[in-house]
């Protein structure tokens, strides 16, 4: 379709109207020119196509679809192929239901465990979130259905989400909150991006030129359209030239009139409207011209897919040998979530599912017994339910207590107040472990919780919100049909107060300062060397893996080269299983404040008992770089880096060193307040300073040691040298007698270095 030509035939009024939706879920069409109206639908972990009454809060019914595990769950699979596969399944569902754009994936960073929407987001780590997001987008879009990467940007809190201002410094934005978007755009080109509700550094995301045009399009090369989150538009006339093409939902009649008036008054260029409409028609025609109306949507097949995805993602956090349970053992399932699982989040991602399979039903084949234990409508303990549960636990060989957060406590639209489970569940657990030493816990909720009871139970399986087939997936793992292989995509702190955002999270009124900066998640806990409940990347298996032979293909490289790291991983247990091999990079010495280590690679490998595989990673400049705000670019400081490979962020098995040389010199300017240390750190400075010091000889008596020249001796290891390091050049003149010659010598040094 010749879109430019089409737009040239549209009137000003038609174009302005096109910049908001036709209704809650449709983009405008224009029969006069044969332009179809297409549908967009939530996303991200199932199709919420509303055929009747519409809303964006998950209230009204939608067509029957599959509820897949939510973002926080599938992220723990660390499996790009699985994410791609889920995208493909969702793409097929969209084709079958005639949906042009699926509203997802959601890639905001988990800044605090309290964010009500953490269940939908992937990780606290931007590299992991970006890799998984790109895979998902490629999967959906391979079916000629678009995605809407959301919520752009710095939307890590639900509290006052439509008005709050995320105040984030540039380096933190670039290193933590933007990379998942950047990676998705550069690698997978989502057809659309959804701007977030909040303000970012004083400008609403929906009218933020820097975000939507300078960074997204000019820097990253985004080719698609930007749509607003539902109701995110603040000033529409400012939004269009900022790069916000489509207001949702529609119709935005009042804003359409404002756009027309702005063009007529000369306050906005008509060409800005043309650009927005061209971008919208871009995805409309991509879909319309590649429709696959014959696509079949097989509910039962996809239900099984959801089950496999859940089993691949859940995380076995603790196991002292209780799991897997012997199929013949007498096991009691306790807790309402065992029968009626919590498997999806509340809000716009809420799916009307095909069928929900709980653990009690799935456990029938193992003869499990069941006791409800608590009511999900109240936090208060019910003594009668607890007594029944205690009895069931006592008369079994093992108890599995199903706990979690309820819908009322965790949802889109508001944040949690704490990281606790309901009081009734806590009490139940306390009573059960008194009578049954063989107690395992299954947790169903969207984000991290505190576990003050961790020492009292023998095993913990974290199911997250595992989608509609969560029950059989849990039972598969409990009884050893499936060997667990998920690892945490977020740190579980011991207590909420340990979280780095704790002091600032809700902010003051609408101002939320991200004061912890780049120290989000493990970047913070590692730097502070704090104990955590479970570290990022942690997850157990029923088999064991041994790591050996970490090899780097270079000992030295330029930052323009790529480094290949290989490592051998062997299954040394007696069951087949999958291991998630994690690669972290640390800058050994840096003049900028950096995390102890950062995830820069991961791979999921399947190994039969005794089998060994070589896993290979490629590291480019970004793996070693930090964002340099003076250069407005990524920068690697020349020096030594450690490549670490391990089974979690706190279980590093092997390390190797590489020296990386920067090809991007940072120009330093020297002046009278540059310190002796600054000068000595510059090779040319050290040489010139050496000569000058010899001439000035301000520290008589500090004779050279073996292997040192005189200037090095002056600088070497004593207190005087340490003090000298911080001495500005102007003071040096004074210590050298304050003569005009000394001053001239220093000036010469400065000029020489700046030349």
Q: Which stretches of the chain bind ligand BGC, using CB under 6 A?
A: 42-43, 56, 103, 150, 229-230, 348
Minimum CB distance to ligand BGC, residue 194 (Å): 6
Q: Which one, of 220, 384, 399, 382, lies nearest residue 322 by Cα?
A: 399
Active site residue 229: yes
Nearer to ligand BGC, 230 or 462 (CB): 230
Nearer to ligand BGC, 103 or 280 (CB): 103
Minimum CB distance to ligand BGC, residue 62 (Å): 10
What residues have CB less than 8 Å from 408, skipping those under 6 apart?
none
Nearer to ligand BGC, 249 or 535 (CB): 249
Handedness of CA 190, 415, 230, 247 (dihedral sign): negative
Integer Cα distance of 567 and 569 in angstroms:
7
Cross-strand bridge partners of residue 563: 619
Nearer to ligand BGC, 84 or 150 (CB): 150
Q: Which one, of 154, 150, 122, lies nearest residue 42 by Cα?
A: 150
H helix runs in 61-152, sequence order? 71-74, 80-97, 126-141
Query: Which residue in 42, 125, 165, 229 is the catalytic one?
Result: 229
Minimum CB distance to ligand BGC, residue 583 (Å): 32
Nearer to ligand BGC, 57 or 326 (CB): 57
DSSP conformation class of 105: -
Please tell me the number of Cα atoms within 13 Å of 162 on its side-chain side.
10
Integer Cα distance of 111 and 109 in angstroms:
6
Nearer to ligand BGC, 150 or 160 (CB): 150
Nearer to ligand BGC, 55 or 510 (CB): 55
Minimum CB distance to ligand BGC, residue 156 (Å): 13
Cross-strand bridge partners of residue 675: 728
Q: Which one, of 466, 440, 435, lies nearest residue 453 by Cα?
A: 440
Integer Cα distance of 370 and 388 in angstroms:
10
DSSP conformation class of 68: P
Structure tokens at 741: 């010659």
Q: What share of the chain is helix, strand, coil (3-state, %, to 5)?
A: 35, 20, 45
Minimum CB distance to ligand BGC, residue 67 (Å): 15
Minimum CB distance to ligand BGC, residue 216 (Å): 18
Please report where in the chains the tokens 């391979």 appear, as a residue. 142
Integer Cα distance of 403 and 424 in angstroms:
10
Minimum CB distance to ligand BGC, residue 462 (Å): 24
Longest dimension (CA), the chain: 95
Integer Cα distance of 439 and 393 in angstroms:
9
What residues have CB less than 8 Å from 630, skipping those under 6 apart?
666
Nearer to ligand BGC, 93 or 272 (CB): 93
- For the sheet containing 511-513, what is the strand order? 203-204, 199-200, 165-167, 511-513
Integer Cα distance of 722 and 401 in angstroms:
60
**C-alpha torsion 352→355→356→358, nearest 10:** 170
Minimum CB distance to ligand BGC, residue 298 (Å): 26
Nearer to ligand BGC, 150 or 604 (CB): 150
Nearer to ligand BGC, 54 or 628 (CB): 54
Integer Cα distance of 525 and 695 in angstroms:
49
SS3 259: helix
Minimum CB distance to ligand BGC, residue 43 (Å): 6
Minimum CB distance to ligand BGC, residue 234 (Å): 15
Integer Cα distance of 516 and 116 in angstroms:
20
- Active-site residues, by number, are 229
């Amino acid at each position: 379709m010749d879109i430019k030509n089409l737009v040239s035939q549209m009137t000003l009024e038609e174009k302005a109207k096109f910049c908001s939706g036709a209704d809650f879920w449709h983009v405008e069409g224009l029969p006069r020119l044969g332009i179809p109206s297409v549908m967009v639908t939530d996303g991200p972990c199932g199709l919420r196509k509303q055929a009747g009454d519409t809303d964006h809060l998950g209230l009204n019914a939608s067509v029957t679809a599959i509820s897949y595990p939510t973002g926080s769950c599938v992220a723990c699979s660390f499996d790009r192929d699985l994410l791609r596969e889920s995208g493909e399944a969702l793409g097929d569902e969209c084709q079958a239901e005639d949906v042009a754009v699926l509203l997802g994936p959601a890639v905001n960073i988990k800044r605090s465990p309290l964010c009500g929407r953490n269940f939908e987001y992937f990780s606290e780590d931007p590299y992991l979130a970006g890799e998984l997001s790109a895979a998902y987008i490629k999967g959906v879009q391979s079916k000629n259905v678009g995605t809407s990467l959301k919520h752009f940007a710095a939307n890590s809190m639900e509290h006052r989400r439509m008005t709050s201002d995320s105040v984030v410094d540039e380096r933190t934005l670039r290193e933590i909150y933007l990379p998942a978007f950047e990676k998705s755009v550069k690698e997978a080109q989502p057809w659309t991006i959804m701007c977030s509700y909040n303000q970012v550094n004083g400008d609403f995301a929906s009218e933020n030129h820097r975000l939507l045009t300078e960074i997204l399009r000019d820097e990253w090369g985004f080719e698609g359209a930007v749509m607003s989150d539902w109701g995110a538009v603040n000033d529409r006339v400012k939004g269009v030239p900022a790069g916000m093409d489509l207001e949702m939902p529609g119709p935005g009649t009042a804003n359409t009139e404002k756009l027309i008036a702005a063009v007529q008054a000369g306050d906005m260029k008509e060409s800005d409207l043309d650009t927005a409409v061209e971008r919208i028609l871009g995805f409309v025609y991509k879909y319309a011209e590649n429709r696959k109306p014959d696509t079949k949507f097989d509910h039962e097949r996809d239900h099984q897919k959801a089950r496999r995805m859940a089993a691949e993602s859940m995380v076995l956090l603790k196991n002292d040998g209780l799991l897997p349970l012997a199929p013949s053992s007498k096991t009691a399932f306790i807790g309402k979530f065992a029968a009626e699982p919590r498997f999806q989040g509340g809000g716009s991602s809420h799916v009307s599912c095909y069928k929900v399979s709980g653990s009690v039903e799935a456990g029938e084949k193992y003869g499990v017994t069941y006791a409800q234990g608590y009511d999900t409508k109240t936090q208060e303990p019910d003594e009668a339910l607890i007594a029944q549960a205690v009895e069931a636990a006592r008369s079994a060989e093992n108890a599995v207590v199903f706990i979690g957060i309820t819908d009322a406590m965790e949802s889109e639209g508001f944040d949690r107040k704490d990281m606790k489970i309901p009081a009734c569940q806590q009490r139940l657990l306390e009573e059960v472990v008194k009578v049954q030493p063989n107690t395992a816990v299954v947790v169903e909720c969207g984000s991290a919780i505190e576990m003050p009871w961790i020492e009292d139970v023998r095993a913990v399986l974290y199911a997250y919100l595992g989608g509609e087939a969560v029950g059989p997936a849990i039972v598969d793992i409990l009884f050893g049909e499936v060997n667990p292989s998920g690892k945490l995509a977020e740190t579980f702190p011991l207590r909420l107060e340990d979280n780095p955002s704790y002091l600032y999270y809700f902010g003051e009124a609408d101002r939320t300062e991200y004061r912890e900066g780049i120290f989000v998640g493990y970047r913070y806990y590692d730097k502070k060397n704090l104990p955590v409940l479970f570290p990022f990347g942690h997850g157990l298996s029923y088999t064991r893996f041994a790591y050996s032979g970490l090899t780097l293909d270079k000992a030295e490289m330029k930052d323009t080269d790529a480094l290949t790291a290989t490592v051998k991983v062997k299954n040394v247990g007696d069951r087949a299983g999958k291991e998630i091999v994690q690669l972290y990079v640390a800058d050994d010495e840096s003049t900028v404040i950096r995390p102890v280590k950062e995830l820069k690679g991961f791979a999921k490998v399947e190994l039969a008992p005794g089998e060994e595989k070589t896993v290979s990673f490629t590291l480019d400049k970004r793996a070693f770089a930090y964002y340099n705000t003076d250069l407005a670019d990524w920068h690697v400081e020349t020096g030594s880096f450690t490549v670490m490979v391990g089974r979690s962020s706190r279980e590093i098995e092997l390390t190797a060193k590489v020296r990386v040389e920067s090809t991007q010199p940072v120009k330093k300017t020297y002046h009278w307040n540059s310190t002796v240390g600054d000068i000595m750190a510059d090779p040319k400075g050290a040489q010139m300073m050496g000569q000058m010091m010899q001439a000035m000889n301000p520290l008589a008596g500090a004779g050279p040691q073996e292997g040192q020249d005189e200037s090095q001796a002056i600088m070497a290891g004593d207190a005087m040298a340490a003090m000298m390091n911080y001495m500005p050049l102007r003071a040096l003149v004074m210590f050298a007698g304050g003569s005009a010659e000394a001053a001239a010598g220093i000036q010469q040094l400065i000029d020489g270095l700046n030349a």
